Structure 1
Amino acid sequence: MQHRYGHDTSAFVVSLLLLALLSGSEASMNLFMGEDEVRRLLGFDAELYYIRDGFVNHCAISFNLSVSTETNSLLLTWNAREMVNYHLAFHVDRPLAMKPPTVNISSSGQVPRALSVFKVSMRCTGQVDGEVSVLMKLSLTIESRNRTVLTFPRRKHCYRTLHAREIIAASSDVDANTASSSTRVFYISVGVCCAAIVLVALLLAALHVRGARSPDSSSLFDSESTQGLSQPSTQTTQCLRADTPNNAAPVSAYPSLKIERNELKPLLLADAQRRVRDIALSRDRVTLHQVLQEGTFGRIYHGTLVDERDPTLKKEVFVKTVTEHASEAQVVLMLTESCKLRGLHHRNLLPVCAVCVDDCTRPLVLLPYMCWGNLKLFLRQCKMTEANNPQSLSQQELVSIAVQVACGMSYLTKREVVHQDLAARNCVIDGSLAVRITDTALARDLFPMDYHCLGDNVNRPVRWMALESLLHNSFSSASDVWAFGVTLWELMTLGQTPYADVDPFEMAAYLKDGYRIPQPCNCPDELFAVMACCWALDPDERPKFQQLVQCLTEFHAALLAYV
Structure 2
Amino acid sequence: MLPGAPDPPGWWIWGRQPGPGLWCPSLLFFLVALSPAAGSYSGPGTANEPGLNVYMSEEEVRRLIGLDAELYYVRNDVINHYALSFNLLVPGETSSLHFSWHAKSKVEYKLGFQVDKPLAMEIPQTNISMQGVVPNSLSVFRVDLLCSGRMDSEVVLVMQLNITISSAKNITVLNFKRRKMCYRKIEQEARDPISFDRNNTRIHFDPVNVAPTTSTRVFYISVGVCCAVIFLVAIILAVLHLHSMKRVDLDESLSDSSSSQGLSQPSTQTTQYLRADTPNNATPVTSYPTLRIEKNDLKSVTLLEAKAKVKDIAISRERVTLKDVLHEGTFGRIFHGILVDEKDPSKEKPVFVKTVKDQASEVQVTMMLTESCKLRGLHHRNLLPISHVCIEEGERPMVLLPFMNWGNLKLFLRQCKLVEANNPQAISQQDLVHMAIQIACGMSYLARREVIHKDLAARNCVIDESLQVKITDNALSRDLFPMDYHCLGDNENRPVRWMALESLVNKEFSSAGDVWAFGVTLWELMTLGQTPYVDIDPFEMAAYLKDGYRIAQPINCPDELFAVMACCWALDPEERPKFQQLVQCLTEFHSALGAYV
Q: TM-score normalised by the shorter chain: which range applies?
A: 0.5 to 0.7
Match of 1:325 in 2: 359
**Greater helix share, structure number:** 1
Verify the 8 A CA contact 1:372 1:378 in the aligned structure 2: yes
Question: Which residue, out of 86, 89, 96, partners 1:99?
Answer: 96
2:150 alignment counterpart = none
After superposition, what is the alpha-carbon deviation per residue over 1:78-130, rounded to whole angstroms, capped at 9, x for unaligned? 649xxxx9999998866xx7435558795579xxxxxxxxx9987899xxxxx
- Looking at structure 2, the residues matched to 528 and 482 of structure 1 have their Cα atoms a distance apart, in angstroms, of 13
**In the alignment, what sits opposite 1:378?**
412
1:509: which partner in 2?
543
* CA–CA distance in structure 2, aligned partners of residues 513 and 466 of structure 1: 14
Matching residue of 2:214: none
* Alignment partner of 2:428 out of 394, 398, 403: 394
Aligned: 1:434 with 2:468: yes
Match of 1:115 in 2: none
Where does residue 517 of structure 2 map in the other structure? 483
**2:391 maps to 1:357:** yes
From the superposition, tell whether residues 444 and 373 of structure 1 become closer, same or farther in structure 2 (CA, over 3 Å).
same
Counterpart check, 1:251 vs 2:299: yes
Q: Deviations over 1:424-456 (max 9, x none)?
A: 000000000000000000000000000000000
Q: What SS does the aligned partner of 1:475 have?
A: strand
* Residue in 2 that maps onto 1:137: 157
Counterparts of 1:6-405 in structure 2, within 5 Å, are 33-35=29-31, 67=64, 79=81, 98-100=95-97, 107=112, 137=157, 151=179, 245=293, 248-249=296-297, 251=299, 268-359=302-393, 362-405=396-439
Q: Does structure 2 conserve the Cα–Cα contact (< 8 Å) formed by 1:89 and 1:137? A: no
Q: Distance in 2 between matches of 1:418 and 1:554?
A: 26
Instruction: Report SS of the residue matched to 1:326.
Output: coil
Question: Is the partner of 2:354 in helix, strand or coil?
Answer: strand
Q: Is the 8 A contact 1:74 1:120 kept in 2?
A: no
Counterpart-to-counterpart distance in 1, 2:395 and 2:144: 67
Kindly provide the amino acid, as one letter, of the partner of residue 375 in structure 2: L
Residues 392, 328 of structure 1: alpha-carbon distance in 2 compared, 3 angstrom cutoff:
same
Task: Indicate the RMSD between aligned Cα atoms, in angstroms.
Answer: 4.1
Specify whether residues 275 and 424 from structure 1 end up closer, same or farther in structure 2 by C-alpha distance, changes over 3 A only.
same
- Contact 1:5-1:543 at 8 Å conserved across structures: no
| 1:298/1:446 contact within 8 Å kept | yes
SS at structure 1 position matched to 2:509: coil
Check the 8 A contact 2:409/2:461 in 1, yes or no.
yes
Unpaired runs of at least 5, structure 1: 9-30, 40-44, 50-64, 110-118, 126-132, 141-148, 160-243, 253-266
Secondary structure in 1 matching 2:478:
helix
Shift of 1:389: 2.2
Q: Secondary structure at the match of 1:516?
A: strand
Q: Aligned in 2, Cα 1:347/1:88: closer, same or farther, shift over 3 Å?
A: closer
Match of 1:458 in 2: 492
User: Partner of 2:479 in structure 1?
Assistant: 445
Following superposition, the deviation at residue 308 of structure 1 comes to 1.0
Residue 246 and residue 458 in structure 1: after superposition, are their counterparts in 2 closer, same or farther (change >3 A)?
A: closer
Matched, 1:493 2:527: yes
How far did 1:527 drift? 0.6
| Pairing partner for 1:522 from 550, 556, 573 | 556
Task: Find the structure with the greater CA-based Rg.
Answer: 1
Q: Which residue of 2 aligns with 1:215?
A: none
Shift in CA distance, 539/89, structure 1 to aligned 2, threshold 3 Å: closer
Tell me the equivalent position of 1:545. 579
| Shift, 1:390, TM fit | 2.1
1:534 aligns with 2:568: yes
Partners in 2 of 1:342 and 1:46 — Cα distance? 53
Q: Which residue of 2 aligns with 1:58?
A: none
Q: Return 5+ residue gaps in structure 2 as ranges.
A: 1-13, 41-61, 74-78, 102-108, 115-138, 146-152, 161-176, 183-199, 205-291
Alignment check: 8 A CA contact 1:300 1:321 kept: yes
Q: 1:314 to 1:137 in 2, by over 3 A?
A: farther
Alignment-mate amino acid for residue 64 of structure 2: V
How far off its partner does 1:70 sit?
8.7
In 2: Cα distance, 1:247 partner to 1:382 partner = 38
Matched-pair contact (CA < 8 Å) for 1:66–1:156: no
Is residue 471 of structure 1 aligned with residue 471 of structure 2? Answer: no
Pairwise CA distance, 1:35: 3.5
Looking at structure 2, the residues matched to 467 and 72 of structure 1 have their Cα atoms a distance apart, in angstroms, of: 25
Change in Cα spacing, 1:307 to 1:526, as seen in structure 2 (3 Å) is same
How much does 1:354 deviate? 0.5
Cα deviation, residue 562, structure 1? 1.7
1:392 positional shift: 1.0
Answer yes or no: is the 8 Å Cα contact 2:408–2:461 preserved in 1.
yes
SS at 1:301 equivalent:
strand
Aligned residues: 393
Secondary structure of the 1:370 match is coil
Specify whether residues 431 and 69 from structure 1 end up closer, same or farther in structure 2 by C-alpha distance, changes over 3 A only. Answer: closer
Report the identity percentage. Answer: 60
CA distance in 2, matches of 1:427, 1:561: 28
Q: Is the 8 A contact 1:464 1:486 kept in 2?
A: yes
The structure-2 alpha-carbon separation of the partners of 1:432 and 1:158, relative to structure 1 and needing over 3 Å to count, comes to closer
SS at match of 2:593: helix
